């Protein structure tokens, strides 16, 4: 068995996996209605919202498409900061619905900042929405100024659509307080259910805008999901086993408490960063205060091949970590710090990282210090 430390999917707990072995029920019957209501209540807690959270049987990208396609149409202008691979994905979705992307130029490895957003709104009028990736999984950068950016966007009459696929449930994101109109996450990251469900909260204003839009997708039509939600159903056949798993994963979040969960994620990430520093490695995000909590992106040191490092870690030490996406392939490796992550996973990963680096010829100044530093932080 290998320890899965990629930046999602995270490893679901046994309780969650077992929940999927229950029998399949009628998705148009009272049992499913009850299940949906229970899930909905817990989702509102995790999203910190009073608004409905739509559940789609699709991966996270389906949730991004849902959030864009219900409000963006022909000729609509949308602002997107160019922070990484998943920002590019948002742009491709916008274009596929006929919208025009107005980029906010941001170098990979940096976050978008409020002044850049102000500037972008000065250049474009009638902006329909700003699309933000809260935690850029490809670069390990967290947009910490989201509340301020959201406020600026609302002042200019734009909707705020957030991809929180690798953050919600592990990093604080009070959706209502920060005025997020549509917040998207996936079942497989910080919530630690298996992959296959996308979850999208929608504000009143978002719903109104969606109702005004004439052309819509069939599978991703918001109104259909809201109408069926009233009946305790989904418009199309849901993945019932995944709904059971999501319910169980959410129960675990409620039992732990959202605040405690967020604290645990933070502590584990601090331990990772301390270890990385002790190994003399560089993290990819250029500004320390914008480093992600859930994705630790590390530059591969000179003389070491990223793929070799990942291979040794996986095959010899049983720890699977991620590589770089797109233009960062070969330059960085990424460690997932999400879901059920605890001291055990952190220390096993740090140990595997140090041992593999040493085996590949990287000089460790003080062997064992990374583990000691991580241990102290935990
Ligand atoms: C920030 C972000 N957005 C979007 C996605 C795409 O999600 P999925 O692969 O579930 O479609 C991911 C997946 O890694 C992600 O991390």
What's the gap in Å between 274 CA and the centre of ligand 1? 27
State the burial class of residue 256 (Cβ atoms within 10 Å of its Cβ: 0-12, 13-18, 19+). Answer: middle
> Which one of 186, 335, 339 would you pick to mutate in the ligand 1 pocket, going by the greatest count of ligand atoms within 8 A of its CB?
186
With b meaning 16 or more CB within 10 Å and e meaning fewer, what string describes 192-219?
Answer: bbbbbbbbbbbbeebbebbeebeebeeb
Q: Is 86 in the pocket of ligand 1 (CB under 6 A)?
A: yes
Q: Is 194 in the pocket of ligand 1 (CB under 6 A)?
A: no
Task: State residue 338's pLDDT score.
Answer: 98
What's the gap in Å between 166 CA and the centre of ligand 1? 7
- 144-165 residue pLDDT tens: 999 999 999 999 999 999 999 9
> Phi-psi bin for 117: left (phi > 0), alpha (psi -120 to 50), beta?
alpha
What number does the ligand 1 atom closest to the CA of 195 have?
10
Q: Is 137 in the pocket of ligand 1 (CB under 6 A)?
A: yes
What's the gap in Å between 122 CA and the centre of ligand 1? 30
What number does the ligand 1 atom closest to the CA of 7 have?
14
Contact between residue 66 and residue 56 where contact means Cβ atoms under 8 Å apart: yes
Where does the pLDDT of residue 119 fall: very low under 50, low under 70, confident under 90, or very high at 90 and above? very high
Q: Is 59 in the pocket of ligand 1 (CB under 6 A)?
A: yes
Residue 215: pLDDT above 90? no
Q: Is 8 in the pocket of ligand 1 (CB under 6 A)?
A: yes
What number does the ligand 1 atom closest to the CA of 164 have?
1
- 299-350 residue pLDDT tens: 999 999 999 999 999 999 999 999 999 999 999 999 999 999 999 999 999 9
Classify 372 as helix, strand or coil: helix
- Residues 69-80 have a mean pLDDT of 98
Q: Is 345 in the pocket of ligand 1 (CB under 6 A)?
A: no
Nearest CA to ligand 1 atom 2: 165
The rounded Cα 319 to chain-centroid distance in angstroms is 21
Residue 166's nearest CA partner among 40, 330, 292 is: 292
**How many CA within 13 A on the CB side of residue 214?**
1
Residue 153's nearest CA partner among 180, 183, 123 is: 180
| All residues at 6 or more sequence positions from 149 whose CB lies less than 8 Å from its CB, including other chains | 112, 114, 117, 130, 132, 143, 160
- Residues 251-280 have a mean pLDDT of 98
For the chain, the average pLDDT equals 98
Copy the structure tokens of residue 307: 């793929």
Provide, for the chain, the percentages of residues in helix, strand and coil under a 3-state DSSP scheme, each rounded to the nearest 5. 45, 15, 40
What's the gap in Å between 60 CA and the centre of ligand 1? 5
What's the gap in Å between 303 CA and the centre of ligand 1? 31
Cα 268 from Cα 287, distance rounded (Å): 19
List every span in the chain annotated with CATH 3.90.1150.10: 258-377
What's the gap in Å between 6 CA and the centre of ligand 1? 12
Cα 137 from Cα 297, distance rounded (Å): 9
What number does the ligand 1 atom closest to the CA of 64 have?
4
Where does the pLDDT of residue 54 fall: very low under 50, low under 70, confident under 90, or very high at 90 and above? very high
Q: Is 163 in the pocket of ligand 1 (CB under 6 A)?
A: yes
Fold (topology level) of 14-255: 3.40.640
- 236-249 residue pLDDT tens: 999 999 999 999 99
Residue 270's nearest CA partner among 350, 187, 339, 168 is: 350
**Yes or no: is domain 258-377 CATH 3.90.1150.10?**
yes
Predicted TM-score of the model (pTM): 0.98
- Residues 290-304 have a mean pLDDT of 98
Where does the pLDDT of residue 1 fall: very low under 50, low under 70, confident under 90, or very high at 90 and above? confident
List every span in the chain annotated with CATH 3.40.640.10: 14-255
What's the gap in Å between 99 CA and the centre of ligand 1? 21
Task: State residue 214's pLDDT score.
Answer: 86
């Amino acid at each position: 068995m290998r320890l899965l430390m990629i930046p999602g999917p995270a490893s679901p707990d046994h309780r969650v996996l077992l929940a999927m072995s229950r029998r399949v029920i009628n998705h148009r019957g009272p049992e499913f209605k009850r299940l949906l209501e229970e899930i909905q209540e817990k989702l509102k807690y995790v999203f910190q919202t009073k608004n409905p959270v739509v559940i789609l049987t699709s991966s996270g990208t389906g949730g991004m498409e849902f959030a864009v396609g219900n409000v963006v149409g022909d000729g609509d202008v949308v602002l997107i900061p160019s922070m990484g691979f998943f920002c590019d994905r948002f742009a491709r979705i916008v274009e596929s619905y006929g919208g025009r992307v107005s980029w906010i130029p941001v170098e990979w490895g940096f976050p978008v900042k409020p002044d850049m957003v102000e500037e972008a709104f000065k250049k474009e009028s009638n902006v329909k929405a700003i699309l933000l990736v809260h935690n850029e999984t490809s670069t390990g950068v967290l947009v910490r100024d989201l509340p301020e950016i959201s406020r600026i966007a609302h002042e200019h009459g734009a909707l705020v659509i957030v991809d929180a696929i690798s953050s919600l449930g592990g990093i604080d994101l009070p959706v209502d307080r920060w005025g997020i109109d549509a917040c998207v996450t996936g079942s497989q990251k910080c919530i630690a259910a298996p992959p296959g469900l996308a979850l999208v909260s929608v504000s009143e204003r978002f719903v109104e805008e969606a109702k005004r839009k004439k052309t819509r997708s069939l599978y991703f039509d918001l109104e259909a999901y809201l109408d069926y939600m009233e009946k305790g159903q989904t418009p199309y056949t849901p993945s019932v086993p995944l709904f059971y798993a999501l319910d169980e994963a959410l129960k675990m979040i409620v039992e732990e408490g959202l605040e405690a969960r967020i604290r645990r994620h933070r502590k584990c990430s601090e331990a990772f960063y301390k270890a990385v520093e002790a190994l003399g490695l560089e993290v990819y995000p250029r500004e320390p205060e914008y480093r992600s909590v859930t994705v630790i992106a590390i530059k591969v040191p000179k003389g070491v091949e990223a793929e070799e490092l990942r291979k040794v870690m996986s095959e010899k030490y049983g720890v699977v970590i991620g590589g770089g996406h797109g233009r960062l392939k070969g330059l960085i490796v990424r460690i997932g710090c999400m879901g059920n992550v605890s001291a055990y996973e952190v220390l096993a990963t740090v140990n595997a990282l140090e041992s593999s680096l040493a085996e590949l010829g990287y000089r460790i100044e003080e062997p064992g210090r990374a583990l000691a530093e991580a241990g102290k932080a935990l």
